[in-house]
Chains A and B, each alone.
Chain A
């Protein structure tokens, strides 16, 4: 856990929405009594340390033209997991790919989030991934309703 006060404020800034102004770090810098350069340097350090995973815009997929999205869960042999994971990671249409610990009641351990511009392209994409990965057993699990989507607040 990070207990440094300045660091916590900076993490808070990163999790929020950067103001659209010429000096977006100015308000926080003044509040903390440090320079804008120091804030930028600290954000760079967080990025280097891997705590800041991504820096930039978080888009709404649907408005970006990707209206057909699905979570696809694949059956994969444990010894093929890395190979399959790397193949799937290579698809630009896949944004997230994880191997998960799953219970016996749900034997699909490789999860990939897929994005396409329409239903037909989504179906074709899933077929292409199945072919290239050699994983023929999968579930296409679509979201029917979004109850909650928020960014985690760590501080």
Chain B
């Protein structure tokens, strides 16, 4: 698996720019190239390599589900060991579920559910509880202090 250590200083500058200051312009990659004093084709080639290596999941935007009017909640459920895979499969198939993890706690399956309304989320969870015959706890965010998926890659070489 590729590691950030395999990338050079230009790659790291590009990655930093992509995370913190990606130009919103008709030709964003040209603008990145001009900032670094390299050719646009080189920027595109380097980004393609980072994507291929799996470092970049995708380029684009993250929509704020709440500002968009959606209701989102973190849910957890205690599932007997023998039923974990089957339950996880059922949960993952719900279209509003974006994240679904097995975790090391008595509540062992954790997932996030996003729905157009709170009532709809509640209905989905009630139906899921009936289907699984398990209690689900729902923990919607009351207050957000930070959402930022950015990493300082410049420090990784020490």
What 0/1 readout, one digit per residue, does chain A (12-34) give for beta carbons within 8 Å of chain B?
Answer: 01111110111111000000000
B139 CB-CB contact with A under 8 Å: yes
Shortest C-beta distance, B46 to chain A (Å), equals: 10
Within 8 A of A (CB), among B1-41: 1-5, 15, 18-22, 24-30, 40
In the bound complex, do residue A99 and residue B141 qualify as a contact, i.e. CB atoms below 8 Å apart?
Answer: yes
Known: A43-B24, A57-B56, A154-B65. A64 touches B116 (CB 8 A): no
In the bound complex, do residue B147 and residue A96 qualify as a contact, i.e. CB atoms below 8 Å apart?
Answer: yes
B83 CB-CB contact with A under 8 Å: no
Interface footprint category on A: 35 or more
Q: In the complex the two chains form, what is the Cα distance from A87 to B28 in whole Å?
A: 35
In the bound complex, do residue B145 and residue A98 qualify as a contact, i.e. CB atoms below 8 Å apart?
Answer: yes
What 0/1 readout, one digit per residue, does chain A (133-155) give for beta carbons within 8 Å of chain B?
Answer: 00000010111111111111010
In the bound complex, do residue A145 and residue B102 qualify as a contact, i.e. CB atoms below 8 Å apart?
Answer: yes
Within 8 A of A (CB), among B110-158: 110-111, 114, 116, 137, 139-153, 156
In the bound complex, do residue A60 and residue B139 qualify as a contact, i.e. CB atoms below 8 Å apart?
Answer: no
Q: In the complex the two chains form, what is the Cα distance from A18 to B23 in whole Å?
A: 13
Interface residues of B, dominant DSSP = mixed
In the bound complex, do residue B26 and residue A14 qualify as a contact, i.e. CB atoms below 8 Å apart?
Answer: no
A94 CB-CB contact with B under 8 Å: yes
Within 8 A of A (CB), among B97-114: 97-105, 107, 109-111, 114
Known: A14-B61, A22-B27. A100 touches B1 (CB 8 A): no
Interchain residue pairs with CB less than 8 A apart (30):
A1-B116, A15-B60, A17-B58, A20-B29, A43-B61, A53-B64, A54-B147, A56-B20, A56-B59, A58-B58, A58-B62, A60-B57, A63-B55, A64-B153, A65-B5, A65-B153, A96-B148, A97-B145, A98-B142, A100-B140, A100-B141, A101-B142, A103-B139, A106-B137, A142-B104, A144-B101, A147-B89, A147-B92, A147-B102, A152-B114
